[in-house]
């Protein structure tokens, strides 16, 4: 009898042909192809869940990408533009073998990436209906503050690029918006089920495709010359963005989390109004009123209703029917969601800084390379790659120094962010920052030095 080994199964899953490295930054053969980098899954040990401080480590990025793919095999995805042999990819994506592996590994992946929330999101006991209402109003009240992500975009050296990168981070969620909610429609739980369904009907544009929220978001993307096909920008998603999307699929896939989902739902529907007002302002400003912001303006309107529905017709109705003992679960859902969104904003800010300071990272290499190259104790990898060998986007947990010996490299560090590196050039690669490389010459010889913390070399 075969015994199940989580890591072996994970590797088998990621090694399917659809998930091998891409040879272009943007995905071709959408929506089925997405690189899961099976060759670099070594650090992922599903038996040792990630700790709270590791959510941006390479292991987290790798696991969140796989988990997104696992969830998407539960949804129907068809290519917007059918390509040659798309049917073959469709058959592979939904094959019994792929589905079987996905089913085997899903819960271990969820525990791996979200397990730390169980320890770090603390909820006190003794909740009453009244205390919950108070808590909800403090958490969802208008703040009047300019959100961090808005400051990040407005403060960027390249505001248009930053705003586009921000939109891209929402694509995994908004292009199949409300799909995780559908997981809580099946079953039989009385009138609250129909209230839940009403929210979904709006999200799905009550059957009018032009009004479906995902369609509105496609138009937003297209209006600023971004591609609206699912996962065209697969290589650009940060682990923190994938986590925010996967979290709702996790809550919806495991029905023990139903009350937690209700809490997360009331939080998202209630806070989205102010969020979307800021989004309209920032996008109108940055794109000079050329961005189609209807996705956001529609939410300014509809989520006033959804916030109220989620509060009164779902959360309070659940408490009234099933008792105050369910409140801690709802509070947990609210706090976990809040934490993931704080992480989302903070990591977006760090990513934009990384993209904005590429020239500085180029100069920093020049400054520290003599010292690093002269130090025999620094671990180094010697690489020799051929034309168009694409290192698909990834990150490292410590700082690294890339140094080119011969040939030419295209160093990728996010949407429209790159350096061209020739012999003697290089770049400091900051820890946990997304990057990749393409070889522009017939071949390229370069070295990667694991320098730990760049500050120690300055």
Q: Catalog residues that contact Fe ion under the rule CB under 5 A.
A: 203, 213, 269, 303, 306
Give, in order, the Cα–Cα distances in Å from 234 to each of 21, 47, 58, 264. Answer: 12, 27, 16, 26
Nearer to Fe ion, 29 or 394 (CB): 394
Nearer to Fe ion, 112 or 446 (CB): 446
Nearer to Fe ion, 213 or 260 (CB): 213
Distance in Å, CB of 52 to Fe ion, minimum: 24
Give, in order, the Cα–Cα distances in Å from 258 to each of 180, 251, 263, 272, 324. Answer: 12, 7, 9, 21, 15
Distance in Å, CB of 188 to Fe ion, minimum: 24
Nearer to Fe ion, 70 or 239 (CB): 239
DSSP class per residue in 162-202: HHHHHHHHHHHHHTTTTHHHHTTTSS--THHHHHHHHHHHH
Q: Are strands 426-429 and 418-421 parallel, antiparallel or unpaired?
A: unpaired
Distance in Å, CB of 119 to Fe ion, minimum: 30
Distance in Å, CB of 121 to Fe ion, minimum: 23
3-state SS, 354-412, equals HHHCHHHHHHHHHHHHHHHHHCCCCCEEEEEEECCCCEEEECCCCEEEEEEEECCEEEE
Nearer to Fe ion, 13 or 296 (CB): 296
Residues 59-84 as b or e (16 or more Cβ within 10 Å = b): bbbbbbbbbbbbbbbbeebebeeeee
Distance in Å, CB of 3 to Fe ion, minimum: 35
Nearer to Fe ion, 6 or 444 (CB): 444
Burial class (CB in 10 A: 0-12, 13-18, 19+), 399: buried
Please state, in angstroms and rounded to a whole number, the distance separating the CA atoms of residues 410 and 144.
42
Nearer to Fe ion, 301 or 321 (CB): 301
Whole-angstrom distance between the N-terminal and C-terminal Cα of the chain?
57
Nearer to Fe ion, 109 or 181 (CB): 181
Q: Are strands 443-452 and 418-421 parallel, antiparallel or unpaired?
A: unpaired
| Element housing 347 (H / E) | helix 327-356
Distance in Å, CB of 451 to Fe ion, minimum: 13
Distance in Å, CB of 115 to Fe ion, minimum: 27
Nearer to Fe ion, 328 or 436 (CB): 436
Whether the bond into 401 is cis, omega within 30 of 0: no
Please state, in angstroms and rounded to a whole number, the distance separating the CA atoms of residues 60 and 45.
11
Distance in Å, CB of 208 to Fe ion, minimum: 14
* H helix intervals, 73-95: 86-93
Nearer to Fe ion, 277 or 324 (CB): 277
Distance in Å, CB of 303 to Fe ion, minimum: 5
Question: Which two three-digit tokens encode residue 87?
Answer: 């049917």
- The sheet with strand 426-429 has its strands ordered as 380-386, 443-452, 399-406, 426-429
Distance in Å, CB of 435 to Fe ion, minimum: 6
């Amino acid at each position: 009898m075969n015994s199940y080994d989580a890591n072996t199964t994970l590797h088998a899953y990621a090694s399917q042909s659809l998930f091998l490295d891409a040879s272009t930054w943007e995905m071709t053969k959408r929506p089925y192809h997405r690189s899961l980098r099976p060759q670099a899954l070594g650090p992922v040990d599903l038996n040792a869940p990630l700790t709270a401080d590791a959510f941006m480590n390479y292991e987290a990025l790798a696991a969140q990408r796989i988990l997104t793919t696992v969830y998407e095999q539960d949804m129907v995805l068809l290519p917007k533009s059918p390509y040659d042999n798309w049917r073959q990819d469709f058959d592979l994506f939904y094959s019994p073998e792929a589905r079987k592996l996905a089913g085997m590994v899903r819960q271990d992946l969820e525990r791996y990436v979200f397990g730390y929330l169980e320890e770090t999101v603390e909820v006190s006991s003794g909740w009453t209906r009244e205390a919950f209402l108070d808590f909800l109003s403090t958490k969802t009240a208008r703040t009047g503050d300019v959100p961090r992500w808005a400051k990040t975009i407005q403060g960027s050296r390249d505001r248009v690029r930053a705003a586009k990168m921000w939109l891209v981070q929402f694509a995994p969620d908004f292009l199949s918006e409300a799909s995780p909610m559908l997981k809580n429609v099946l079953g039989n739980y009385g009138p609250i089920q129909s209230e839940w369904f009403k929210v979904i009907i709006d999200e799905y544009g009550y059957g009018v495709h032009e009004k479906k929220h995902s369609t509105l978001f496609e138009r937003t993307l297209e209006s600023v010359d971004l591609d609206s096909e699912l996962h065209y920008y697969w290589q650009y998603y940060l682990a923190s963005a994938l986590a925010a999307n996967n979290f709702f699929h996790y809550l919806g896939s495991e029905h023990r989390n139903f009350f937690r989902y209700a809490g997360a739902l009331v939080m998202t529907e209630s806070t989205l109004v102010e969020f979307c007002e800021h989004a309209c302002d920032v996008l109108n400003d940055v794109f000079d009123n050329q961005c189609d912001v209807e996705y956001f303006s529609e939410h300014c309107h509809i989520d006033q209703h959804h916030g109220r529905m989620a509060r009164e017709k779902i959360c309070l109705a659940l408490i009234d029917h099933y008792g105050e003992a369910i409140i801690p679960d709802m509070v947990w859902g609210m706090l976990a969601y809040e934490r993931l969104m704080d992480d989302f904003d903070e990591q977006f800010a760090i990513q934009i800084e990384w993209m904005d300071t590429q020239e500085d990272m180029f100069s920093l290499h020049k400054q520290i390379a003599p010292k690093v190259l002269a130090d025999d104790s620094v671990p180094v990898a010697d690489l020799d790659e051929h034309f168009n060998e694409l290192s698909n986007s990834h990150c490292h947990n410590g700082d690294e120094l890339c140094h080119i010996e011969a040939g030419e490299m295209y160093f990728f560090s996010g949407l429209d962010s790159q350096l061209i590196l020739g012999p003697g050039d290089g770049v400091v690669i900051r820890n946990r920052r997304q990057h990749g490389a393409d070889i522009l010459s017939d071949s390229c010889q370069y070295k990667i030095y694991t320098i730990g913390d760049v500050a120690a070399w300055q």
